[in-house]
Structure formats: structure tokens, C-alpha cells
Amino acid sequence: MHPCMLFLLCLAALPLASHSSSNPDVALLLAKVKPALQGERANAQLATWNASTPLCLWRGLRWATPDGRPLRCDAAATRANLSLASDPALLLLSVRLPASALAGRLPPDLGAFSALDSVYLAANSLSGPVPLELGNAPALSALDLAGNRLSGDLPASIWNLCDRATELRLHGNALTGAVPEPAGPNTTCDRLRVLDLGANRFSGAFPAFVTAFRGLQRLDLGANRLEGPIPEALAGMAATQQLQALNVSYNNFSGQLPPSFAASRFTADSFVGNEPALCGPPLRQCVTASGLSSRGVAGMVIGIMAGAVVLASVSIGWAQGRWRRSGRIPEQDEMLESADDAQDASSEGRLVVFEGGEHLTLEEVLNATGQVVDKASYCTVYKAKLASGGSSIELRLLREGSCKDAASCAPVVRRIGRARHENLVPLRAFYQGRRGEKLLVYDYFPRSRTLQELLHGGSEPAAGRPALTWGRRHKIALGAARALAYLHAGQGEAHGNVRSSIVVVDDLFVPRLAEYAVDRLLVPAAAEAVLAAAKADGYKAPELHSMKKCSARTDVYAFGILLLELLMGRKPSASAGGAARAMDLPSVVKVAVLEETALEEVLDAEVVKGLRVSPAEEGLVQALKLAMGCCAPVPAARPSMAEVVRQLEESRPKNVHPRSALYSPTESRSDAGTPTTA
């Protein structure tokens, strides 16, 4: 090629090269922000940030003109315009990439964009520190970095955003050190409405300066390592009704709660996990110095114990006399034997039977022929056939070393055995052998009829999987909710392991929850393994990262995930790197809301296909809102299961027969009617 021709070609290319970087915000995005956010691996969302893609198609970004008007990308011509990236007048307005598998670091350069108004990067895997330059962003009003892996100290410059920021969310990271004070005195952060620093590793005293934030409505400091007293000024915020949501649970706070909290809207859920060092209403009453002396307390305890022993002896003697006359031992004492009376038991162990299991005998259970159908971290599950015929039973053989001692197991087994509800799988019997082996005996339900298998196990109804219309899914959700409401109110404790794999569904789509309270039988290590599985599967509530005991509120969170699973037809997962179609479901919904995605694209296609009216009329919008409310990061913000049942009953599908027994609050039959269109 002639040298002059080569020179002309290069000369012609120069304007194009310089023109492509003439927009400083675009140049900074490509040179600094994109490499930092994506880390070592290419990212599908960030891959759209390139010169060959029109600016309107760069995922997660919004742009504005110098006068502040957003760039309209709804017109086809604008969406296809490649020259917009070189327009020096356009300014970056927002970065919205939640749940986008970002695995890099938070770039300090985010603080250099003159018009950047909002940054939503929640539910990713960003690591490293929060850069102090971020606090110098001149226009930033909303920052959401929750659910990442950010570490180190929080820079004090973050409070420079106070004059304009309305929300600051850093929940669920690994930030350490004390919560820094603002550099300037008397900082009031008038516009800040939401401050969420929960589920980190902050230490030190309560950051008292936040009580001067005059516009603050929601404060979450839960699941940290903060200590010392709760300041009176915080109670003052509660008393004036300024503060609408508060979570300081699962820290190391101590002392007496300010008296104003007794009359506030906040319940014990806002403070739980700090006991016994923290006391006072709404927690337990404090024991003051004017109370009983230690000698008086000791004397009272000894007296009570002595009286209890005498009363127990008399009661046992009276009961034994009745048992000998009747020849029958009642279920509640047919429990695990102590070491003192083990020699009186059968050489083969002891079988405890509960309602519905009266036909079972020790010999039949031990001689039943079975096959392994499932394995869990704490047990092996068998489908067993009794020699006398009849229906099959399910035997759960607890693994050696996974179960608590006999004395600790007895009251738990008794509670499980007495629980009866049409939407629970009942415990029929319990066996303990002389060498410590333990069996839980249930009615058998095929593994192919779990909700997990119905939702994710097959691809076509013709392959044996029945069609799951919205009417059927609503019926399953309502039944599961009723079971949990019964456990929370009637039994006074949590289920502890709510997930789609433990919901068995019969031919009429009546659901039953299995494995109720089984975690209470397990030693701490085995119980933690159950929690770890719940975390991996995406059902674990955020507060369970710092606490090890399930509660009614953690059940509500897990039910919210279950309801999203029913609505969306996708497997939940704690991270985006799970199996196919497995994802962080609440984050997916948040992204859909931010990107204004059509509701039909969020819902499972099988749900949408069976609708005769709009999703809103069918109660799907209400159900989606309810599920997201159940998944609120702050436990106190979640509804009770009784409230969940009420809302589900009120939002039943329009195409269900109004006289269906499904929606009767007093339904007691297991063969309740199915939606007529299901």
C-alpha cells in the first residue's frame, strides 16, 4: 500500500478514536469502573458496555442531559443510536446492577461522576473496602451495597452524603470497627430516611450520633458486635413516632432499656439476642438491687425444687397405681428411659405411639422391610412395608451422634407427637433402641409428590408432572401458611426447616409440612448443618448468620422464599452461582422493579398461561408483595403467619369456586376441594 494512502487512513481514524472518548463519563466508565466491578472474569451485564452497543442498551445505566432531564430510551431511533456515547453533554445519572454476579471491587471513581444520583449494587460479590472517595460524590442520594463481601472500616466520609442522601444500605457485608462519627459537629442528615448497617461486624458502642438524624425513619444495626447501653435519645425518637422501624437485635448491648420503649411500637423482636445483659420492657424485667438477695434467691430455688420433687413423687405414685389397674401406659410417659430405669425396658428398646399410630407394634416396626429413599445430614429415610400389610410408613433413622441425650429428646418428641393439623405430616411413633438408636415413624408420602419435585422435577405434564396452575399453587401456599400459623400460635414454636422439599402434596393438592421441629432433637453441630443446608438452598433468614436458633420470624422469611418459588417457578439459591434457574429470588424481584420489567416476565410461564383475567385481578400482585414482605431483612418488619394466612385468604384466585372448602378457616378435612379450574 502507498505510504500516503496509509497516512490518510490513519488520519481518518484519529477523529473516530478521539470522538469515542469525548464523553468523560463514558471514558471513565470503560477505563476504570467496568474493570473494577467485573473483577477477573467477564460479566454478561457489563459486556454491554462497549463502543459497538448503543448507549441506551448499556445494562444498568441511566443517563441525563445537562439540564437534568433523563435521556429517553423508549424510542426505537434513540435505542439504536450509536453516536450517543460520544455526546459530551450526556451525564451518568444512575448505576443499577443488583444481583448481577459482579465479583470485583467497588471503584473509587464512582465518586467522580458529577451527576450520579443513585448506585444500586446489592446482592453481588463485591469485595474489598468501601472507598472514601465514594463519600465525595457530589450528587449521590441513594446508595445500596447490601449483600456483598465488603470488608474493613467504614470511612467517615460516607456521612458527607448526608445533605442529600435519602437511603444508605450496607446490610450483610463484613465491615468491621466502630461505626465512624461524621467529621462535622451537629450533623443532622435531614434527608436520610433509611440507614441499614445490619449483619456486619461493627463493634464498639452504640453510634449515638444517629439519634440526631432528624429525618431517620428506619434504622437497622442488628447482628453486629455493638455493646454498651441503648441511649435514651433513641427511645425519644421512638416516642415521637419519627422512627418507624428499629432493629438492634443480636448484638452485645447491656443495661436497662430506656422506659420510653415500653409504650413504643417496637416489640421484643427489635432487641432480642442481647439477653440477659439487656433488660427492661419490652424484654424481661430487670432484677434491681432492691430485689431479693442471693441467699434469698437460693433459698427460694431450693424450696421450689424440694416442693417439685415431693409433688412429682406423689404424682408418679398415683399415676403408677392407675396404670397397673388399667394395664396401659399413656403416650406422654412412654418416652425415652433414663439410665436409672433402662433395665426395666424391653431388650429391643421402646416404641412410643401417638394418635394414628395405635396399630403399630414394636415387633412390626423393627421387622418392616424397607428401602432407602432419601438421605439428609442428620438421618437416613426409608420407605417401609409392615408385615401385616396396609399402607407404607416412613422411617427416619437418626444418625449416630446427631441426636441429643434421652432426657433432652423426651419433651421435644412429646411436642412433635402431639401436634395435629391437616397441613402437617403427623409423627405416628418414636422408637429408641437400647444402644441409643432412634427412629421417627411417619405416614409415607412419595418423594415425587414434594413441592420441589412438582415445581422443578419434570418439564412436561405428560411426563407425569401435573399442571400447576395459579389456583393449585395458591392452595398449596395457603395450606403451608396455615400449618405454620398453627405451630406459631398453637404450639408456640417454629417449624425450623421450611423449604419446598419438605412440603408433600397429595393428589388433591393439599399440602403437608414434614420435619417439624426435628432440629430441636439434634446436637448443635447437626442442627447447624441443617441451617447450612437452608442457607445453601436460599431459605435462610439473614439474622441466622449471627444466631443459631430458628424462630417464628425465620419461618416467615423461609415461607416468603417458598411463595416466591411458587410464583416464579425458579429454584431459590443464596447466590447467583447455584444450579440452573437457581437464584436469589428477592433480588430478582427487586431488579425487575428497578428495571420496570413486565410482571408476566417475572412469573412462571405456567402461572401466566392459565390466567383468565389480569395478574392483578387474580391476586398475583398481592401475593408477590406479600412474599417480599415476608423476606424483609429486618425480622420485626415481617408479618406474622396469621397475617399471611389472612392476606392469602383475601387474595384467592377469582376463578376458584366461592364455596370451595379450601378457603374455609375451619377446614379440617385433608381432602378439601380443589380449585375448579385447576
For 220-257, write each residue's pLDDT tens digit.
Answer: 998 899 999 999 999 888 877 789 889 998 889 999 99
| Average pLDDT estimate for 252-272 | 88
Q: Residue 176 forms beta bridges with which residues?
A: 153, 201
Segment 439-468 shows an average pLDDT of: 76
Note the pLDDT of residue 35. 95
Rg (CA), the chain: 30
> Between 606 and 36, where is the model more confident?
36
Look at residue 204 in the predicted model and tell me its pLDDT: 94
Between 159 and 264, residue with greater pLDDT: 159
Query: φ, ψ for residue 89 (rounded to 5)?
Result: -85, -20
- pLDDT for 292-347, tens place per residue? 433 444 444 445 555 544 454 544 454 444 434 433 334 433 443 333 333 334 45
What is the maximum alpha-carbon separation in the chain?
Answer: 118
Of 72-81, 121-130, 399-408, 509-518, the range with the lowest mean pLDDT is 399-408
- Residues forming beta bridges with residue 228, ordered by sequence position: 253
d(CA 563, CA 552): 16
Phi, psi of 90 (to 5 degrees): -75, 140
Residue 194 β-bridge partners: 167, 218
| Calpha distance 47→17 (Å, rounded) | 20
pLDDT of residue 166: 93
Confidence of residue 21 (pLDDT cuts 50, 70, 90): low
Range 536-544 average pLDDT: 82
CB atoms within 10 A of CB 358: 11
The DSSP code sequence of 585-605 is: HHHHHHHHHHTT--HHHHS-H
Q: Is 452 helix (H, G, I), strand (E, B) or coil?
A: helix
Instruction: Please report the pLDDT score of residue 363 as a whole number.
Output: 84
Q: Are 478 and 645 in contact (CB under 8 A)?
A: yes
Q: Is 473 exposed, middle or buried (0-12, 13-18, 19+ CB in 10 A)?
A: buried
For 583-618, write each residue's pLDDT tens digit.
Answer: 789 988 988 887 778 888 888 888 888 777 777 777
Provide mean pLDDT across the span 475-480: 94
H-run or E-run covering 234: helix 232-239
User: Is residue 181's pLDDT more than 90?
Assistant: yes
Tell me which of 8 and 132 has the higher pLDDT. 132
Task: Decide: 177 and 204 in contact? Cβ < 8 Å.
Answer: yes
- Determine the Cα–Cα distance for residues 237 and 661; give it in Å rounded to an integer: 47
472 pLDDT tier (thresholds 50, 70, 90): very high
Across the range 478-490, mean pLDDT stands at 89
Q: What angle do CA 668, 671, 673 make, to 5 degrees?
A: 95
- Summarize pLDDT for 41-87 with one digit per residue, the tens: 888 889 999 989 999 999 999 999 888 889 988 788 888 889 898 89
Looking at the chain, the whole-number percentage of residues with pLDDT higher than 90 is 33
Report which of residues 345 and 88 the model is more confident about.
Answer: 88
Using CA atoms, how far apart are residues 93 and 139, in angstroms rounded to an integer?
A: 9
Domains of the chain in sequence order: 3-228 (3.80.10.10), 333-443 (3.30.200.20), 447-663 (1.10.510.10)
What does the pLDDT look like over 544-592, one tens digit per residue?
Answer: 876 667 889 999 999 999 999 999 999 887 544 444 445 789 988 988 8
Distance CA 216, CA 199 (A): 19
Which range among 80-94, 257-271, 360-374, 602-616 has the greatest average pLDDT? 80-94
Nearest alpha-carbon partner for 285 in 261, 317, 308: 261
**Spatial distance between the Cα atoms of 266 and 674, rounded to a whole number of angstroms:** 40
Mean pLDDT of 248-275: 87
Between 18 and 304, the more confident residue is 304
How sure is the predictor about 406, in pLDDT bands with cuts at 50, 70 and 90?
confident
- Residue with the larger pLDDT of the pair 202 and 413: 202
pLDDT at 41: 84
- What's the mean pLDDT when you consider all of the chain? 79
Q: Lowest-pLDDT range, 5-19, 195-209, 482-496?
A: 5-19
* Total count of residues recorded for the chain: 678
The reported pLDDT for the residue numbered 288 is 57
Within 248-334, strands assigned E span: 252-253, 255-256, 278-279
Res 464: pLDDT: 62
Q: What is the pLDDT of residue 672?
A: 32
pLDDT of 149 over the 80 cut: yes
What average pLDDT does the segment 84-106 reach? Answer: 90
Provide, rounded to the nearest whole percent, the portion of the chain with pLDDT above 70. Answer: 80
d(CA 146, CA 196): 8
pLDDT at position 463 is: 53
* 254: its cell numbers: 447491656
